[in-house]
Amino acid sequence: MEKITDDELLNYLDGSGSEVERDTIKKLISSNVGLKKRVEELQTIHNFLQKQNRIENPSKNFTEKVMSGLHARPSFTFLSPRNGFLLLVGLMVASGLAVMMAASGSFDQWHTFFNLGQIPIKNNWLKLPTSVSVDVKQAVKIFVMINIVIGFILLDRTILRPIFQKRAERFS
């Protein structure tokens, strides 16, 4: 018994196993410093777990609840259809306004410069540009695209998926 596993050490700490095995492990622990340290670590964990009073037993009808829930329809909706529809309408309104403003040329002349030279970062390895130019029209286009993607996800999750699930249940 030259190499001892953690399972064998845990059995030793539990007091299980034959007397011969326990004596052999005890001799190996006293002669090996690394093994003694590992036993102390496992003893700390073992004591902590024994002090835990939160080990709970499942209820008497646990198996029945699990078995009855196997055939239940899973609920994947994270929004109710009404809230999802309201959020979808809000996204459509915000995207529509942004598209109308972009089409009318409201953002054509808007450019913003962020002055990065005043940032109090002293870093010799990273060279930051002194300023960054941001085209607001491009930012609005990106905003509209993100809104469209989110709108399609909301449309699928809150409106289309429940409709098609009901149809699938009706025909099955």
Is residue 86 located within the same domain as residue 43? Answer: no
- Residue partners of 32: CB distance under 8 A and separation at least 6: none
* First-to-last C-alpha distance (Å) of the chain: 62
Candidate from 19-23, 42-46, 94-98, 135-139 with smallest mean pLDDT: 135-139
Is residue 36 located within the same domain as residue 106? Answer: no
Look at residue 54 in the predicted model and tell me its pLDDT: 63
Residues 115, 26: Cα–Cα separation, whole Å:
70
* DSSP conformational letter for 73: P
Residue 77 pLDDT > 60, yes or no?
Answer: no
Is residue 47 located within the same domain as residue 92? Answer: no
Is residue 15 located within the same domain as residue 93? Answer: no
**Residue 58 maps to a domain:** no
**Residue 144 maps to a domain:** yes
**Residue 99 maps to a domain:** yes
**Residue 42 maps to a domain:** yes
Is residue 29 located within the same domain as residue 97? Answer: no
Candidate from 10-19, 43-52, 73-82 with smallest mean pLDDT: 73-82
CB 91 within 8 A of CB 151: yes
Residue 15 pLDDT > 80, yes or no?
Answer: yes
Is residue 42 located within the same domain as residue 86? Answer: no
**Residue 68 maps to a domain:** no
Is residue 97 located within the same domain as residue 26? Answer: no
Look at residue 1 in the predicted model and tell me its pLDDT: 47
Report which of residues 72 and 42 the model is more confident about.
42
**Residue 70 maps to a domain:** no
**Residue 162 maps to a domain:** yes
Residue 130 pLDDT > 80, yes or no?
Answer: no
SS3 for 89-137, per residue?
A: HHHHHHHHHHHHHHHCCCCCCCEEEEECCCCCCCCCCCCCCCEEEEEHH
Is residue 167 located within the same domain as residue 95? Answer: yes
**Residue 33 maps to a domain:** yes
Is residue 166 located within the same domain as residue 89? Answer: yes
Structural domain boundaries enclosing 21: 6-51
Output the pTM of the full model: 0.41
Is residue 31 located within the same domain as residue 100? Answer: no
Q: How far is CA 26 from CA 17, 34, 47, 76, 168, in A?
A: 12, 13, 19, 54, 65
**Could you give the number of structural domains in the chain?**
2
